Structures are given as C-alpha cells and as structure tokens.
Amino acid sequence: MATAMARLPKAWETEVDKEPRKHWLGQRRPPVRCDEASLKEVSKSLLVPMVQYAELHGLLYAAKDQSIDPSAATQCPVAMLPFKIPAQAFDECVALSKLWNELVDAVARDLPWLYATLEPAANADPFTARLMGISKAVHAAGLRQKLMLGIHRSDYMLHEPGDSSPRFLQVELNTIASSMASHSANTETLHRYLLSRYGEGSDPTALALREHFGGAGELVSHLPQNATLKEIPAALARAHGAYGAKDAVVLMVVQEEERNFADQRWLEYALWEEHGVKVVRKSLGQLHRELAMDPSSGRLRLDSGAGQEVSVVYFRAGYSPDDYSSEAEWEARLVLEQSLAIKCPSVDYQLVGAKKVQQALARQGAVERFIGPGDSSKLRGCFAGLWGLGLGEDDSYIIKKACSDPNLYVLKPQREGGGNNFYGKDVATQLKKLSEQERGAYILMQRILPKLQSTVMTRAGTAEVMLGLSEFGFFSVFLGDGRQALLSEHAGHLVRTKADGVDEGGVAAGYAVISSPFLVQ
C-alpha cells in the first residue's frame, strides 16, 4: 500500500475500501429540519428589518455594475439566522489558534524544509515558482526585517459521519488576505439584534425561532462574542508600533476593482479610531508607479519617495495570479518584500499557506519537527486525510481510489480565493488529464461529511429557505522575529454557509453567505 495512505483515518479507510458509494450516501447524518413552512414565514417577516439593519451596519458589497454610480453598493450575502454547532468543538478550535501561529512562524523560518517541500509544486506551477523566487532573492540579499505579522485563518468543517462524535477537520490554513473578519463581526451583531428583538415572546415568529433552535432559553446567550474588529486592528497597530515611526502609515495592498471594500474599510476605520494609525490603500500596479525604497535603509515611501513612510504592508491582494497582470506587479511585490516595512504576510508566510505544505505537514513527524509532541498531537487531531501527488510521491494507489469514487475526495491546486478546487466526477477527469509533473501542483484531500441544517440565505434583498452546511474559520494574529513572539492571540471567527450541493465556500467568490455560530451542547 502506498505510504501516503497512512494519513487516512483507519475507520474511514475501512469504509471506503469496503463500500465507497454506500459510505458517501449512507454515512452522512440525516439533515436537521425544523418546520420548513414556519421558517419561510420567519424569513418573510424578518427580511425587510434584517436587510435594512445589515445595510445600515456596514454589511455591504460594491455593486457589480458601477457604470452609472461608482459608489453603488448592495447587501452582503448573509444568513438570516446563525448556524448551530457543538460548543465543545468550537472551544477546541479556539484553543488551537496559538498553536497554528507557532507552527506557521516556525515553518516560515525553516527555509530548507519549506523550499524542499514546495519544489514539486513550483516545478508544476509558475505562480508558486515566482513566489519562491522572491523569497530566495530576499534572503540572498539579506533579510532587512525579521519581524513578521500574521493574520491567519484556519478553516474547518464539522465531520459528522454516521453515529460518530462530531469533530472539526481542517479544510485549509489561510496565511494571506484572510478576509471577512469585519463582516463576520457585523453579522454577529445582526444576529444578536434579530434574536433579541424577535426571538422572545409568544408571537409566531418568536415561537418559530425557538423551535428552530430547540427551545434553547435566551437565544442570544448562545452567540459567542466575535473579537475580529478588536484583535485584528490591534495586531496591525502593534506591528506599526514595533516598526518605530509614529507618523508612518499602514499600506493596504488591494485589488484594482475590489467589491469587498466594506470588509476592509472597517479595519481601516478601527485602526484610526482606536489606535490613531493611518491606512493608505494602493494596488500593486499603483505601487509600481508610486513606491520608492531607500537602497541603503530599505525604508519605503509613497509618492515616488516624497510621501509618507510605510510601517506595515498589509496584503489584501497578491494571493492569486490574477493580481499580477504584468511584470510591473511582480516588481512591486519584490520591492515590498525587500523593504524594511513589516509584511502581513511576508512571502514566506504566504508560502506556508500553500496546499502542498498543508499536505506535507500531515506526514508522520512533520509537525513534530516544529513544535512539541503534545501540541503536535492536538493539531493532528483536526487533520483530514491528505495525499501528495506527482514526482516523488507514491500516488498510484490513491489516484486509482479517487478515480473509482471521486465523491470521497477533493482535488486542490496551490490557489487561494475560492473557485479553484475539483469535486465529484471532475476529480477523476482532472487526474486523468494531468501528467506526473503537473500533478505536483495538486493535493488530494478527504471529503468532509458535515450535517445539513435548515437555513435562510439572503442575497441582494431576497431570502430563500434551504438545507445548508457551513465552514468555520478561526482567526489568529501573530507578531514575532523568530526568537520571540511579541503577540499571539485568537482573533475571532467566521462562519460561511452554503447550500447543499454547492462545493465551494467563498463568499467573495459568490458561493456562500456569512453566518455566525449558535453554540449548543
């Protein structure tokens, strides 16, 4: 048997080997349904107050068509009601946040291991190769800034096959442009308003809400506080202070046509209102024209060197090949990485978030290389089955299994931002197309089996009741120089809910809506 099979949980492997189709269709727990008719009535009665509250509290997206009004915006896609999850599983993931911080920093500073791990992906994927090239160039010239700021988000789904106890399995670890922090906090505020305002009393809406949530007493008491709008701006401010130039600015690197402006602006406003730190927004293309770096000190200044000094570079772009439409954007990225400014993230942190690194860390002894055995065991408890592909990997057995029952696997490239993975029959189709070298740009992952719940999804002022499943993200912030951690904290959470049958889970990519957790025993 291929050595990669060691990552497949034994019980799961047995079921897959015996009856894969039965496993996929029969092992998933039945959906939790409330009275669909009553939930539809709830959606009708709450739609207008919900949408207006959301829009007046910053849950906005830029409109797709801004040809007439460049300031036009629409309601951000959100769930009308929070999503029920076990409190114990939620608390366990919160406790892992600092361990992910420690692991990311340790891996990013072990460059021989990082480069060797990513070599197969870089050989098959030009984007990964360019990022590795920047990293190597920066370190060859001498690293000017050892402090690195991370705003990470570890994403999980609740695996609930058959009668097994539910547990979170990690989907991915995001180390660049981890978004939806502000919208997540504002969605929690929205849900607190709806449940407190309409969830008490004896009217039909209140009764239907309590039925949906299982008569759980005071409904708002089951919503955990979400600290994203406190902790993430505080981390950026801490990095700004560590840089040591009070009048410098935080540079937010954004995409040219950014629809998710409100999620970013809330962080900008909090930085100014709570910490007195200014934010300047620029795209990589603009920075190529306007940025200047002092060749001796590495200090960055805007306006071709005549403007403000940059203390922190906060990337909300740069995670996709689409962000580099020409060599100009790549040249701007290199200058940013070579500078004295603190990067969030550095290119090394970004590389740690690659799917190939996630898969390599699942190998026996890999996590233990970087953190102690006790903490390693805690992280391993949330690893899904992961398999490497391509040159240097014994992948024939797992490819055969994935092609025979592709519904049990997800094929993932080295990409961020949603809409890039392969599911179902497309897994087999893509695997058959790829050469051995091309497979090195992908990993295979166990398909996670969550339980479905009735949910109300709202988008652009409309509501629809349907069965949905959720992906749960846990933010963490870290600032360190490789010798000591100046900051390491859990920084809030994100819930993204999608309809049953929808494979991807990105809100900005149009696949999901934002929700919040409703903790149950």
Put simply, whether the predicted model's pTM sits higher than 0.95 gets the answer no
HSE-CB of 114 using CA atoms within 13 angstroms:
25
Residue 23 has pLDDT above 80, yes or no: no
Secondary structure class of 228 (helix, strand, coil): helix
Q: Across residues 307-333, what is the average pLDDT?
A: 98
> pLDDT averaged over the chain?
89
The three-point CA angle 215-216-219 to 5° equals 110
Q: Tell me, what's the pLDDT at 27?
A: 47
Whether 496 is catalytic is yes
Q: Tell me, what's the pLDDT at 54?
A: 97
Cα–Cα distance measured from residue 435 to residue 439, given in angstroms and rounded to the nearest whole number: 6
Contact yes or no for 202/243 (Cβ under 8 A)? no
Q: pLDDT-based confidence at 238, cuts 50/70/90? A: very high
Tokens 């969830």 -> residue: 199
Cα–Cα distance measured from residue 146 to residue 180, given in angstroms and rounded to the nearest whole number: 28
Q: What percent of the chain has pLDDT over 90?
A: 73
Q: Which residue out of 301, 355, 356, 401 is catalytically annotated?
A: 355
Q: pLDDT-based confidence at 417, cuts 50/70/90? A: low
Residue 451 has pLDDT above 90, yes or no: no
pLDDT digits (tens, 9 = 90+) for 340-385: 999 999 999 999 999 999 999 999 999 999 999 999 999 999 999 9
Q: Which residue out of 416, 468, 476, 488 is catalytically annotated?
A: 416
Q: Across residues 240-253, what is the average pLDDT?
A: 98
Q: pLDDT-based confidence at 15, cuts 50/70/90? A: very low
Q: Which residue out of 7, 153, 343, 401 is catalytically annotated?
A: 153
Whether 174 is catalytic is yes
Q: Tell me, what's the pLDDT at 395?
A: 87
The sign one gets for the Cα dihedral 356, 357, 361, 365 is positive
Buried b (16+ CB within 10 A) or exposed e, 427-446: bbebbeebeeebbbbbbbbb
Q: pLDDT-based confidence at 20, cuts 50/70/90? A: very low
Q: pLDDT-based confidence at 6, cuts 50/70/90? A: very low
Residue stretches of the annotated binding site: 153, 172, 174, 176-179, 258-260, 264, 316-319, 355, 412-421, 423, 445-448, 471, 496, 498, 504, 507-508
Whether 343 is catalytic is no
Cα–Cα distance measured from residue 151 to residue 100, given in angstroms and rounded to the nearest whole number: 11
Q: Across residues 233-256, what is the average pLDDT?
A: 98
465 DSSP β-pair partners: 456
Length of the chain: 521
Residue stretches of the annotated binding site for ATP: 172, 355, 412-421, 423, 445-448, 471, 498, 504
Residue stretches of the annotated binding site for substrate: 153, 176-179, 258-260, 264, 316-319, 496, 507-508
Whether 226 is catalytic is no
In 3D, which of 60, 106, 138, 161 has the Cα closest to residue 370?
106
Cα–Cα distance measured from residue 328 to residue 325, given in angstroms and rounded to the nearest whole number: 8
Cα–Cα distance measured from residue 279 to residue 268, given in angstroms and rounded to the nearest whole number: 6
Whether 172 is catalytic is yes
28 DSSP β-pair partners: 161
Cα–Cα distance measured from residue 212 to residue 343, given in angstroms and rounded to the nearest whole number: 45
For every residue of 289-340, DSSP letters joined together read HH-EE-TTT--EESGGGTS-BEEEEEESS-SSGGG-SSHHHHHHHHHHHHSS
pLDDT digits (tens, 9 = 90+) for 475-487: 999 999 999 999 9
Contact yes or no for 414/421 (Cβ under 8 A)? no
Which of the pair, 378 or 304, is modelled with greater confidence?
Answer: 378
Q: Please state, in angstroms and as integers, the Cα–Cα distance from residue 430 to each residue in 32, 398, 435, 439, 501, following that order.
A: 34, 14, 10, 9, 20
Whether 355 is catalytic is yes
Q: Tell me, what's the pLDDT at 504?
A: 54
Cα–Cα distance measured from residue 60 to residue 260, given in angstroms and rounded to the nearest whole number: 8
Three-state SS sequence of 175-198: CCCCCCHHHHHHHHHHHHHHHHHH
Contact yes or no for 50/457 (Cβ under 8 A)? no
> Which pair of tokens denotes residue 416?
């961020």
Q: Across residues 317-323, what is the average pLDDT?
A: 96
Cα–Cα distance measured from residue 257 to residue 264, given in angstroms and rounded to the nearest whole number: 13
Q: pLDDT-based confidence at 209, cuts 50/70/90? A: very high
Torsion of CA 142, 485, 167, 518, to 10 degrees: -120
- How many other CB atoms are found less than 10 A from the CB of residue 203? 11
Q: Which residue out of 43, 135, 174, 516 is catalytically annotated?
A: 174
Which of the pair, 391 or 226, is modelled with greater confidence?
Answer: 226
Q: What percent of the chain has pLDDT over 70?
A: 90
Torsion of CA 439, 353, 332, 180, to 10 degrees: 120
Q: Which residue out of 214, 241, 417, 461 is catalytically annotated?
A: 417
pLDDT digits (tens, 9 = 90+) for 111-160: 999 999 999 999 999 999 999 999 999 999 999 999 999 999 999 999 88
Cα–Cα distance measured from residue 370 to residue 112, given in angstroms and rounded to the nearest whole number: 13
Whether 439 is catalytic is no
Q: Which residue out of 109, 210, 356, 412 is catalytically annotated?
A: 412
In 3D, which of 335, 274, 331 has the Cα closest to residue 310?
335
Helices (H) then strands (E): counts for the chain: 18, 21
